Amino acid sequence: MKNQRLTPGQIIGNLAALMVFICTLTVTTVSAGGLSALFTESDVDISALSPVDGEGHGYRIVYRVPVDIDTFWRFKTDFDNSFLIQNKTITSHRLLRRYNNIAVTETTYAAAPGKHFTWETTTDIDNYQMQFRLIDPRSSGQRYHWGFIQLIRDGHQTIVVQQAYFDFTGAGFWVVYPWQGGMRDVLKTNAVWEQEAIMRMQAAYR
């Protein structure tokens, strides 16, 4: 693949795989209606990680959600859902197959029209952990993307640790880009959506 200068829109398109899990949330104890005003960068801890094999990039994010661990686990592992398309970054989502504790899903994103991102997620309910990887990453413009999500019980709330490693053309620029469309902005944007979603739908997962 030849190197080329990417526009911000193309960078976000290559980045779309990072959005599927809508993976960051913040700490709050108020009603859903007042959540947006309280979501700030300081509410979530995001760290850049060195790649495992010397190439690519990684991140680690730690955050808290104001619902109990079992409710949030059921929400996060509801792979056959229709609510993800309520997120404006996602245009379609479907469960392709599920066997034992492995789910395979396909998602398309508004920023990457024509590309299908196929994810394999292995769930471990005894340890409240999900391990995920992008299947056939090159077909969606990625070199690789894999990681895990770990839920930790904290009374009636849940601490979430997510760690992921990825690589694609323009990833280095995206990781450090400090404005709209950069890594922190994308993670924060999806954090707001997911926090409001679980607050709206928590009754269905209790």
Task: Round to whole Å and give the CA distance between 90 and 16.
Answer: 9
pLDDT in tens, 147-186: 999 999 999 888 888 899 999 999 999 899 998 878 888 7
pLDDT at site 152: 93
- Between CA 111 and CA 134 the distance in angstroms is 17
Q: Which residues of the chain have pLDDT under 50?
A: 1-4, 6, 8, 10-12, 16-42
> Cα separation of 155 and 205, whole Å?
18
pLDDT at 183: 86
Predicted pLDDT at 122: 98
| pLDDT of the residue at 13 | 52
